Amino acid sequence: MLLTAAASLGLTLLPGTADATPGNAVTQARTAAEATQLVADAQHHLEAVSEQVNDAQVTLEQQQGAADAAGAALAAAQEQLAVLDGQMRQVARSAFTGQNLSRFNALMTSGSAEEFLAQVNTLDVIAGHTSDVLAQVGAAAAAATEAETAADGAAAAAKQSLDDVSAQQADLQAGIADYTAQYDELSAAQQAQVAQAHAGPALEAPDTVSVSTVSSPSAASAATDATAGALAPSEAAQTAVETALAQVGDAYVWGAGGPSAFDCSGLMQYAYAAAGITLPHSSRAQSAMGAAVSRSELQPGDMVFFYSPVSHVGMYVGNGKMVHAATFGVPVQVTSVDMKGYVGARRMAG
């Protein structure tokens, strides 16, 4: 999962002779228009890198959870072995002291047939108990060995993922610093062009209405018309919509998940957390959750995804609009859902 995309962000924006050898992209801008396009491209790559880092962190959390579970299983197996060890010591002590008598000894020491049968029955019970203990010890030892192997493997995988994520984060931060310097070289008009190329034009946010205030289908229809489609199909989805819209104007920050700054998947995670629904902080992971929804069946609260592989997500709010944390330099805003790169939608509630 190690990333190389950050290396592609090292662009030279100063005017000069462009390095455009056959088969290679221009990496030195000759004109203001080229500089703007190079930064817009770099911006998209950087968001993809950021979302890959988010996804790697989700994987790391899962692996750490698996490592913790494997460690708990190992501790339980070792505890069972310790308990059985005491029973085995008791069996060995009984054999050493002659308590585990043979049938011959029972026959020679019995005063009657009844006493003999009683002693034989006792011997059978002891033998059966010993066999059970031995079987349990063998099974527990095997389980402990298996648990130890699983725990070691899970811990090693988590450690490798931690190292990978640390390296990715370092690459991402270097890419962010490089990109920010490039972005700052642009004029205000060029920066606006970069923002619109990736985020689309800002639209007016719809009003919202609580689902609980709508008591009938006709009232729901009227409320939907009055609020430009902001009425979600369930309480949970409505809460998510209202929470996401409440963040309009907050800053975009790579890797941020609130409460006052967000990236795209962080905003979705934050909005649905308010509705009691837990989402991972990764647009790719979010795109595999919930139920698939066609473009024609979108309802407020549905999450809409972009690019392949998925590297951007927003929330549909009705009337062809979505709210999203679009990109660096652009606050959380409402735009058209028909943004370039649309690949599908998922419904998390309702």
Backbone angles phi, psi at 282, to 5 degrees: -165, 125
Q: Catalytic: which of 45, 198, 264, 281?
A: 264
Polymer length in residues for the chain: 350
What would the 3-class secondary structure string for 148-195 be? HHHHHHHHHHHHHHHHHHHHHHHHHHHHHHHHHHHHHHCCHHHHHHHH
Q: Is 198 a catalytic residue?
A: no
CA-based torsion, 82, 86, 91, 96: positive or negative: positive
Contact 288, 332 (CB under 8 A): no
Give the C-alpha distances (Å, rounded to integers) separating 148 from 64, 80, 82, 156: 15, 14, 15, 12
Q: Is 281 a catalytic residue?
A: no
Q: Catalytic: which of 45, 198, 281, 324?
A: 324
Q: Catalytic: which of 45, 198, 281, 312?
A: 312
301's torsion region: left (phi>0), alpha (psi -120 to 50) or beta?
left
First to last CA, the chain: 35
Q: Is 44 a catalytic residue?
A: no
Q: Annotated active-site positions, please?
A: 264, 312, 324
